[in-house]
Chains A and B, each alone.
Chain A
Amino acid sequence: MGLTLTWLSVIILIPLAGLFLKTFELSLDQFWGILLSRRTLHALRISFGLAFAAASVNLVMGMIIVWALVRYRFPGRRLFDAIVDVPFALPTAVAGIALTSLFAQKGWLGAPLAELGIKVAFTPVGIFVAMIFIGIPFVVRTVQPVLIDLDVEIEEAAASLGANRWHTVSKVILPSLIPALLTGFALAFARAVGEYGSVIFIAGNLPNVSEIAPLLIVIRLSEFRYADATAIAVVMLVASFLIIFAVNRLQRWAQTRISAQ
């Protein structure tokens, strides 16, 4: 997947982006003008920034979840293993309204949080929560096969050399999972940046406050400002794939250290 994304970015999307721009014959000045407008910049910041934060949360939580699912036995383990895929299978609009209902002021989780003074729905925090939701399967499913296939003898070797459990986990096991973790992070990030349906219900969608970039594209399209919509799309594409490209290089560097032959 990682290699494919890298290929995509270099070969397809950047020329595609160029094609878009040429179609509208935007001058460079006009292009920058659209981009640097306050509203656009803010939407991009919200989308990329919160996607990065959500993917980071999924990195940590995904690691914990996959460890529990692979290493431990507990009642309901198989059920929980199956539901990890739900955010991937559930239609985004359904997820959107469900999360909004859950975290609204009077919602099952929103109400207790409101008591603590935390407002989730219709704020950037809501966007963050929705992005975490849709990213859950990516880190877990990418790391799971690697953790399952991990060589038992490596752990035995570490123990025979005197390492306690913490040393073995932190110095031997986790480092060998880094390529898979990075791949999962990249996938979760890419998905969160472009996510629309799950996010727009809970987001609030106030310009310059809680408006995500995909929504801004839709708004510009409904205003028939095709050029603006395209410009934003181009930036999203290029930025996403630059970041993913960087993550993939990082992951491949880590991979060469880890793979046996």
Chain B
Amino acid sequence: MNQPQSSLSSARDDLRTEPGLIRVVVIAIALIFLTVFVVLPLVVVFAQAFSKGVGTYFSALSDPEALSAIRLTLFVAAISVSLNLVFGLVAAWAIAKFDFRGKTFLISLIDLPFSVSPVISGLVFVLLFGAQGYWGPWLQSHNVHVLFAVPGIALATVFVTFPFVARALIPLMQEQGTQEEEAAISLGASGLQTFFRVTLPNIKWGVLYGVLLCNARAMGEFGAVSVVSGHIRGETNTMPLLVEILYNEYQFVSSFAIASLLAMLALITLVAKTILERHLDEGQLSRDD
């Protein structure tokens, strides 16, 4: 009674896919490329770090220079994240909830550190704070050291990581609109109350996401910091800078040991990012009710 299945299946190629051989080739090319260019470099970091054994690995990490670099990196990251959290919140809030002249200008300005080479960002700071720079003489006369000292590193890092929180929050807040805030105000809440009770809870996942990316970039920043730091050992070296110095001195294991910490940070950041993205998507879905 029924049609034999074979004649159905012979013409049965899903019309939206390619023949099997092509699929295999495309997948193979993609995977080989990603393995060579992404997986192998990651593996090499850890292989080299542990190439002289676990003991050497940990002694490299507990070296005073290494510890000082780790401390500096954490410090600078903490400053960058805190400052940019505030800046980002304010900027995103202004852009999403208000209309004002120069709004596009401000949005473009926020993207500025993203689009220029980190070296050029560092250059801007040298031009402003360096000995021949704009404020250079004034700083020198007041014996304030910005460049080649921790403040310079912190400033450069804040500048370079500025966009992350803002860029995570702006689309989120724009998509949420102003209606809830307007409702709160019509019910008698003050501006601050509205902000803390209505706005902030709605954007918490976006804030976490922005903070996560900001932190990752702050800890890993190299180009801009390299320009302003002066590379003074034990004092103005962040972890990435120390990686460079050790590598150039052929202290490969130590260099890769510190690099491995940064690599782990990157991987943790990626995992956390994926989880947060799911929360952000869900948030948007439930919003459409």
A and B touching (Cβ–Cβ under 8 A): yes
Q: Say whether B38 faces chain A, with CB atoms less than 8 Å apart.
A: yes
Stretch at the interface among A30-38, A174-182, A194-202, A247-255: A194-202
Q: Which of B184-241 contact A (CB under 8 A)?
A: 216, 219-223, 226-227, 239-241
Chain A's nearest CB lies how many Å from the CB of B195? 27
8 closest cross-chain pairs (CB), A and B: A194-B117, A91-B220, A197-B222, A196-B223, A98-B41, A214-B119, A93-B240, A68-B30
Contacts of A201 in B (CB 8 A): 244, 247
Q: Distance in Å from the Cβ of A56 to the closest Cβ of chain B?
A: 14
**Contact partners of A221 in chain B: CB under 8 A:** 123, 126, 227
Known A72-B23, A197-B222, A214-B223; judge A190-B240 contact (CB<8 A): no
Residues from chain B with a CB closer than 8 A to the CB of A169 are 18
Q: Is the interface of A mostly helix, strand, loop or mixed?
A: helix
CB–CB A23/B40 < 8 A: no
Query: Which residues on the A side are within 8 Å of B223 (C-beta)?
Result: 92, 196-197, 214
Q: A91 and B26: CB pair below 8 A?
A: no
A-B contact pairs, 11 of them (CB 8 A): A69-B30, A72-B23, A72-B26, A74-B27, A90-B262, A90-B263, A93-B241, A97-B243, A196-B223, A197-B223, A214-B120
Q: Which residues of A contact B42 (CB under 8 A)?
A: 83, 86, 90, 98
- Determine whether the beta carbon of A194 is less than 8 Å from that of B111: no
A41 contacts chain B at the CB level, 8 A cutoff: no
The smallest C-beta distance from A145 to any residue of chain B, in angstroms, reads: 12
Is A156 at the interface (CB under 8 A from chain B)?
yes
Is the CB–CB distance between B33 and A109 below 8 Å? no
Q: Is the CB–CB distance between A93 and B127 below 8 Å?
A: no
Asked whether B117 lies within 8 Å of A82 as measured between CB atoms, the reply is no
Asked whether any CB of chain A lies closer than 8 Å to the CB of B104, the reply is yes
Contacts of A94 in B (CB 8 A): 45, 220, 240, 243, 259, 262-263, 266
B86 at the binding interface (Cβ < 8 Å): no
Binary contact readout B20-31 vs A (1 if CB under 8 angstroms, 0 otherwise): 000100110111
Q: What total of chain B residues lie within 8 Å of the partner, measured CB to CB?
A: 71
Assess whether B44 is in contact with A61, with CB atoms less than 8 Å apart: no
Given A94-B240, A230-B127: A71 touches B34 (CB 8 Å cut-off):
no
The interface bits of chain A over 200-231 (1 if a CB of B lies within 8 angstroms of the residue's CB, else 0) are: 01000000000000110110010010100110
B115 on interface, CB distance cutoff 8 Å? yes
Binding site for B on A (CB under 8 A): 1, 4-5, 7-8, 11-13, 20, 23, 61, 64-65, 67-69, 71-72, 74, 76, 80, 82-87, 89-99, 101-102, 107-109, 132-133, 136, 152, 155-156, 159, 165, 169, 190, 193-197, 201, 214-215, 217-218, 221, 224, 226, 229-230, 233, 236-237
Contact A83 B226 (CB under 8 A): no
Which of B16, B48, B221, B266 is within 8 Å of A86, CB to CB?
B266
Q: Is the CB of B44 within 8 A of A98?
A: yes
B11 within 8 A of A: no
A217 to B120, CA, bound (A): 8
B88 interface residue (CB < 8 Å to A)? no
Are B220 and A92 in contact, CB atoms less than 8 angstroms apart? Answer: yes
Central interface residue in B17, B111, B117, B130, by most chain A CB within 10 Å:
B117
CB distance B41 to A102 under 8 Å?
yes
Smallest Cβ-Cβ distance to B265: which chain A residue: A91
Q: Which of these, A12, A91, A152, A237, contacts B120 with CB under 8 Å?
A: A237
Nearest CB in chain A: distance from B57 CB, A: 15
Pick the contact of A218: B33, B119, B130, B221 (CB < 8 A): B119
Q: Which residues of B contact A12 (CB under 8 A)?
A: 105, 108-109, 112
**Which one, B19, B48, B262, contacts A165 given CB within 8 A?**
B19
Contact of A236 among B117, B219, B259, B263 (CB under 8 A): B117
Give the docked Cα–Cα distance between A69 and B243 (Å).
Answer: 34
Task: Decide: B37 and A93 in contact? CB cutoff 8 A.
Answer: no
List A contacts of B104 (CB < 8 A). 7
* Bound CA–CA A114/B241 (angstroms): 30
CB neighbours of B222 from chain A (8 A): 91-93, 196-197
Stretch binding the partner chain, chosen from B58-66, B93-101, B138-146, B267-275 = B267-275
Please determine whether A193 and B117 come into contact, CB atoms closer than 8 angstroms.
Answer: yes
